Amino acid sequence: MPRKAPLTDMLLRNARPKDKAYKLSDGGGLFLQVQPNGNKLWRYGYRFFGKQKLLALGAYPETGLAEAREKHAVAHKQVANGIDPSEAKKDAKRTALLNAANSFESVAREWHEKKCNVLQPRYAGFILRRLEADIFPKIGSRPIKNITVPELLSVLRLIEKRGAVETAHRAMKACGQIFMYGIATGRAERNPAADLQGALQPIKTGHFAYLKEDELPEFLQKLEVYQGMRQCQLAVKLLMLTFVRTAELRGALWSEIDFDKAEWRIPAERMKMKRPHIVPLSKQAVIILKELKLMNGGWQFVFPNPYKPIKCMSENAALNVIYRMGYKGRVTGHGFRHTATTILNEQGFNRDHIERQMAHVEGKVRGVYNHAEWLPARRKMMQHWANYLDRVASPEKKAKISLVK
């Protein structure tokens, strides 16, 4: 190492290019090479096992004199310890590239891309947004194999602390699946999320807000006199008659509706469980759909977005009807499913028929799902349900209130 470095910042700033490259030595093999084009490059010349080598340490002024000396000191010590700094630099670069390819975020995005093939686009997008907002900023750049249980827990607890307990649990579940994918692809060795069971606050369980049987008459009467957009009013009515999921209703296409058979056939790609589903249409549902056909038959969607008809209506359209009727917090679109199944079960309908109509997951006993199973019985059940709602809406037949009006 030099006893005293001869270079100064003033000398470096004032160094001008010449016809040929030249060096300004700082001692100990460290020098600044001034190029004919004006570039100033830090270099460390050293011998390793008798071979003359050169190590790049950055460009001036981005790398200042003090920083260049620090890098030189590290490299000089490596040579003294029998380590070639040029090879060490290459190894560090390879490791950095490997870690980037095997980072949690890289593996997570790869996992998510594959999951997109089996998940509803809206749900897949929700998972990715959750990861981008809460997980990637904290551990996204970390090699997935190096993430520890306490490290993952600290990230999840940040979500928990803001009161989003359910979101924290969902994030933990997604992370667990990502770690398992990392293990399967040889980039992780264990799943830290598996060791976090019980570490987060428990989720307060409960059902979606739904209408009780004695609440139906008032709700149906208010729905009938609703003064807002007709399409949204009809959407709520059809939701009650079919008790499909709100996403399935919003995305309904005219190509799925068979008026001759009085059936709505929803393809697998639009279903939560990725299985095709048949909805037998009651007479009341058909009347509603025929009115919608007159309104929206020129578009592909049964419920087109009024501002951009090439898309379906927004997810809040039907919910806003419920809010404006004064039922915010008392019922949700999903809650109609609970209302229907509860009442139909109480009325003695076959539980299997109800579960099929809800498009729930097939039980373990039968390996093959037949989406048309018990269709005649389900058709009778759906017509019974529509007639029941009509009777509930006007039990004494005094008011001409009906879901089909």
Q: What is the 3-state secondary structure (H, E, C) of 138-162?
A: HHCCCEHHHCCHHHHHHHHHHHHHC
Cis peptide before 309 (omega within 30 of 0): no
Q: What gap in Å lies between CA 315 and CA 251, rounded to an integer?
A: 10
Count Cβ atoms below 10 Å from residue 42 Cβ, excluding itself: 25
Marked catalytic residue, from 69, 71, 237, 245: 245
369 is a catalytic site residue: yes
State in words which class domain 104-196 has: mainly alpha
All residue ranges of the chain with pLDDT < 70 are 1-5, 95-100, 120, 122, 204-207, 361-372, 395-405
pLDDT at res. 331: 86
CA-based nearest residue to 303, from 264, 273, 339: 264
pLDDT at res. 369: 42
Q: What gap in Å lies between CA 164 and CA 184, rounded to an integer?
A: 30
- What is the token pair recorded at 105? 């975020």
For domain 213-393, give the CATH number.
1.10.443.10
Marked catalytic residue, from 272, 275, 371, 384: 272
pLDDT at res. 328: 87
- Mark residue 8 as left, alpha or beta (left: phi above 0; alpha: psi -120 to 50; beta: remaining): beta
Marked catalytic residue, from 360, 380, 391, 405: 360
The domain ranges of the chain are 9-97, 104-196, 213-393
Q: What is the pLDDT of residues 95-139, one digit of tens each?
A: 666 656 789 999 999 999 888 877 767 678 888 988 999 999 999
Q: Write down the CATH superfamily of domain 9-97.
A: Integrase, DNA-binding domain (3.30.160.390)
Helices (H), 15-120: 65-80, 85-101, 104-115
The DSSP string of 351-399 is: HHHHHHHTTPPPPSS-SS--TTTTHHHHHHHHHHHHHHHHHHHSTTS-S
13 is a catalytic site residue: no
DSSP type of residue 29: T
384 is a catalytic site residue: no
Marked catalytic residue, from 40, 72, 250, 337: 337
- What is the token pair recorded at 148? 């520890």
pLDDT at res. 345: 84
334 is a catalytic site residue: yes
Same CATH topology for 9-97 and 213-393: the answer is no
Distances, alpha carbon 315 to alpha carbons 60, 119, 146, 180, 332, in Å: 56, 18, 40, 33, 12
Q: What is the pLDDT of residues 67-92, one digit of tens each?
A: 999 999 999 999 998 899 888 887 77
CA-based nearest residue to 313, from 322, 321, 304: 304
Marked catalytic residue, from 22, 226, 369, 388: 369
Q: What gap in Å lies between CA 53 and CA 234, rounded to an integer?
A: 79
272 is a catalytic site residue: yes
Marked catalytic residue, from 330, 334, 371, 384: 334
How big is the CA angle at 308 (ends 303 and 312), to the nearest 5 degrees? 30
Q: What gap in Å lies between CA 331 and CA 328, rounded to an integer?
A: 7
**With contact defined as beta carbons under 8 Å apart, do 329 and 209 qualify?**
yes
